[in-house]
Structure 1
């Protein structure tokens, strides 16, 4: 089957219209008409070849909302007409310890987890193609139920990446009532971290380098906002945080935040910079038994949990809708942080 899509043919060419193949609907497959697809910074890195191992043509997109158009004979969890989501994964080995634990993003199989785009395809070394297209076919295990009102579907799309990337560490490190939680950065990831931590019942402190974002952070639900370039503001929070979620994908001084953690507390990184952070000081870890950790998206069970939680609490992403033809302009604006807080493509415009 052929679908319309937008692809980069090389790291130096803009995304442009093309046709891509999709497999026929297999016994356990779900065929999906894509309605909306969020635009993640990872899409830009991948299309421009800024990460190793990119293969072309490359069709980005891993924040997918769509409608089921066909199902395989053995599919039991989805029906034709259902509204569903597909995130960053469309496959894994399904039998290693991580997969058994519902943490497919850490799959220990020989090929690891299968990315929605630029992933392995049946072991042949071919590419998988993402959501900048009008359709996709996915194994039912990796298709998620969407229960938000249909009027909110565009704003649900970024939950499939930005939402789960922040939810997974907040849940793992037990954000909730009685916990003081820091969110570093107020962008695509950070704005979701603030919303989720607040809804989980935590006391939320947002960190930003820009005083102009103070009111934005409060509007998102932050109880307090700290300008991280102000050393006096930072000092008032020394040794007071139970957990800090650092969403910033640019190199910066990690020690400035590590000293804000209580004894035995953790700061978790979810942003991948294009060059290394300055090395953190070991003393800040040793003398308070603090931990510096990382976290990668989330498994399928916790992604469904996050989507259900967000539907129950009326949580969506702040989005700006664009037409497919404007993706390169969106990439340019994204590089300038000129979006609040996530672009979403209306795939009817493809």
Structure 2
């Protein structure tokens, strides 16, 4: 199988900055499409993988899993797409497609492990995958998504991770007209959770430690803001919420939010990976049949459903556009939460 050489931006070591690289993309198989990447969102996972914060990074690392572009080539057996289509790729580019999870359109829970868009094992070449900080990507059509043409393609890019990560729990816990939802944290994920829950008809509250976030949250569609460091405000929302989506990506006390769950309510974690600290107090869980759960991105069918919903309701992310040459500075700003609310790279800058 011949490879295609493309320009990219990535890093060859955890402590090294991202820089221009040349990488190899596989020649198209009969089921593949080639996408000319126009825009790529910047996710915290990109930074963590580049810097090997989670361990297991395979260098060189080329991050990027919020990809939007135009299809430039299609394999001989491709049926869903044609050259010129606006297409997207999210956090995964393959799975076994035979296990029980894949059979339920839950590729993100593939029992044999899904293939990450970057830092995954490519089932076709045996090498590892490279992400969207690059000119082109070659992906099996099953893992390619259609972007509604009425959406700004740059602002649509973060839907492929931040959007689907919050949409999947909203759908799984059947959020609808009249549901009461709270969101913990107003960042890339939190602002998408507010927009999507509001469009589903829910009453949406933001939990935040920062009073200065209130104005922005209300402009994004939140109905209320509760400052989580204020005991009086926290007591005022006891037993209020059907679902709390917790987007905070670092260790924090979950016990703070449990009293605000309804009977049968669920606190779902989408931001933090690791051990809970302090320990969960199970008393309110047992006495109120409350749950603490986790959720990971979404399957391909669910991601397409989310994109179609966003097209219908004109929902995109709030973004700041950058050039690829500014990515190292953007990472430092992202660590300080100095972005409203998602960086998106204009990949035309890679050609300059």
Q: Please report the TM-score for the alignment, with normalisation by the length of structure 1.
A: 0.97
- List per-residue Cα deviations over 1:290-347 (Å, max 9, x = no partner): 0000000000000000000001000000000000000000000000000000000000
Measured against aligned partners, the alpha-carbon deviations of 1:226-279 in whole angstroms (never above 9, x if no partner) come to 111111001001111111111111211101101110111111000125774321
In structure 2, C-alpha distance between the alignment counterparts of 1:272 and 1:213, rounded to whole Å: 21
Structure 1, 313-322 or 140-149: larger mean CA deviation: 140-149
Query: For structure 1, which segment, 280-289 or 193-202, has the greater mean C-alpha deviation from structure 2 after superposition?
Result: 280-289
1:126 is displaced (CA, Å) by: 2.3
The counterpart of 2:45, out of the listed 37, 42, 45, is 42
Does the 8 A contact of 1:84 with 1:145 survive in 2?
A: yes
**Aligned counterpart, 1:138:** 139
Mapping for residues 157-306 of structure 1, pairs under 5 Å = 157-273=157-273, 276-306=276-306
Q: Which runs of 5+ in 1 are unaligned?
A: none
The aligned counterpart of 1:59 is: 62
Matched, 1:13 2:13: no
Superposed displacement of residue 167, structure 1: 0.1
Please state how far the C-alpha of 1:55 moved relative to its aligned partner: 0.6
Find out whether 1:122 has 2:120 as its counterpart.
no
1:81 to 77, 81, 84: 84
Question: Aligned-pair distance for 1:123?
Answer: 7.2
Q: Is the 8 A contact 1:255 1:284 kept in 2?
A: no
Report SS of the residue matched to 2:278. Answer: coil
CA distance in 2, matches of 1:253, 1:260: 14
Aligned counterparts of 1:178 and 1:99: Cα–Cα separation in 2: 32
Q: Which runs of 4+ in 1 moved over 6 A?
A: none
Structure 2, gaps ≥5 residues long: none
Q: Do the aligned partners of 1:251 and 1:277 also contact (CA within 8 Å) in 2?
A: yes
SS of 1:53's equivalent in the other structure is coil
Provide the alpha-carbon RMSD of the alignment.
1.1
Aligned to 2:156: 156
